[in-house]
Amino acid sequence: MPEILLGVSGGIAAYKAVDVMRILQRRGHGVTVVMTRSAQRFVGPATFSALSGRPVGVDLFGAEERPGYGHLELARSHDLALVAPASANTVARMAAGLGDGLLGATLLAFEGPVVIAPAMNTRMYLHPATAANLALLRARGVQEIDPASGLLADGDIGVGRLADPVDIVDAVEARLAGAGTLAGRRVLVSAGGTREPIDPVRFVGNRSSGRMGWAIAEAARRRGAEVTVLASNVDLPRRAGIRYVDAPTAADLHAAALAEFPACDVLVMAAAVADFRPGAPLEGKIDKSAEGRLALDLEPTADILSDLASRRERQVVVGFAAEHGPAGLERARAKRVRKGLHLIVHNDVSVEGIGFESGENAVTIIGEAGEETVERATKDVCAERILDAVAPILAATA
């Protein structure tokens, strides 16, 4: 089973790292813990060593708790490094490449996948320095498990709570399962929601944030794919190593998708594309006083997914079906067959707290060979499961 290096840094949530370690162990992973000096002010190394049955790394220059092996050996002997909680300070250290402690030095020498779960006060998390450090780490391929929002230990309410330990372990396992499986493949992902102009300043749009498409693109990149994202109005950080093509309207998206499709091996259409658009967008801004009641005349847009699926050669084609209510699953199944898709990912947009604007989703991945349901999980985990489902189809078709 994979060996996990668990880095624990100094924050109130350090005690939750005990849970993370226990869940990893229960699922069969070997776990070695390395603690920063500050982390030991919150939880003692004895807790981790007693529960893990292993020495705990605390000192770069050797200590009783960690006899006989150094940072290089720690880096070599583990398959994945997880830092949970990752303090603002440790995030900054990682971004700067500082190796002035055992955890920093080990991470510098570590060549495998790195996952971090930040936890801190909202103002620390949103500070431009922390945001820039996290963006830099993500650009280097470090996977961030977003902190949750809620009541913080210091009494503030906001973003910054350590993600749920089960979600953290799910993300670690998904990352381990997928490493390198899309090497040499080209993946095209559409993300966001199109906006159809009514006049030069107004549009008909939807609430898609682009997070699901972003998560798929990043997961595909982590698996070694060459990734192009067709981005429809997405206000999320862009990662180094991924190509982005802006496609604000359904027509732009259609044109960009047609241009990119022939070169790709996998197409995932996660964008929410307008089904209708104003028939004749006005050249000047509509004047309120002149209009009274206003009727919008909408015309249907092209069905991009069906068009691309009909042109496919070797490509694996994956669509999304954001459906409302329990009957939606049946509609999604029918949509997959009607549009000639390999897979369709159904999500029920009537369930509160998941879907369009949230970091979480709950999906059913429907294929010819069967269906897999992913219960409420982060979009990163959903993305990994979707790519897991793509893998056997890709192997069989290309």
Ligand X SMILES: Cc1cc2nc3c(=O)[nH]c(=O)nc-3n(C[C@H](O)[C@H](O)[C@H](O)COP(=O)(O)O)c2cc1C
Number of residues that this document lists for the chain: 398
- Other Cβ atoms less than 10 A from the Cβ of 197: the count is 16
Could you tell me if 60 and 74 are in contact, meaning their C-beta atoms sit under 8 angstroms apart?
A: no
Q: CB 143 → ligand X: shortest distance, Å?
A: 18
**76-95 mask for ligand X (x: CB under 6 A)?**
-----------xxxx-----
Residues 134-163 contacting ligand X, CB under 6 A: none
Q: Is 10 in the site for ligand X (CB under 6 A)?
A: yes
Query: For ligand X, which is the closer residue by CB, 89 or 306?
Result: 89
In the bound complex, which residue of the shown chain has the CB atom lying closest to ligand X?
Answer: 11
**48-77 mask for ligand X (x: CB under 6 A)?**
------------------------------
Q: Is 133 in the site for ligand X (CB under 6 A)?
A: no
Q: Is 9 in the site for ligand X (CB under 6 A)?
A: yes
From the list 32-40, 48-56, 261-269, 343-351, the region that binds ligand X by CB under 6 A is: 32-40
Residues 286-305 contacting ligand X, CB under 6 A: none
Catalytic residue, candidates 206, 233, 347, 361: 206
β-strand pairing of 80-86 with 114-118: parallel
Query: For ligand X, which is the closer residue by CB, 39 or 272?
Result: 39
From the list 119-127, 172-180, 240-248, 384-392, the region that binds ligand X by CB under 6 A is: 119-127
Question: Omega into 85 within 30° of 0, i.e. cis?
Answer: yes
Tokens 């998904």 correspond to: 174
d(CA 56, CA 125): 28
Q: Is 89 a known active-site residue? A: no
Q: Is 107 in the site for ligand X (CB under 6 A)?
A: no
Could you tell me if 94 and 137 are in contact, meaning their C-beta atoms sit under 8 angstroms apart?
A: yes
Query: For ligand X, which is the closer residue by CB, 39 or 43?
Result: 39
Q: List interacting residues with ligand X (CB under 6 A).
A: 9-13, 36, 38-39, 87-90, 119-120, 124
Active-site amino acid positions: 206
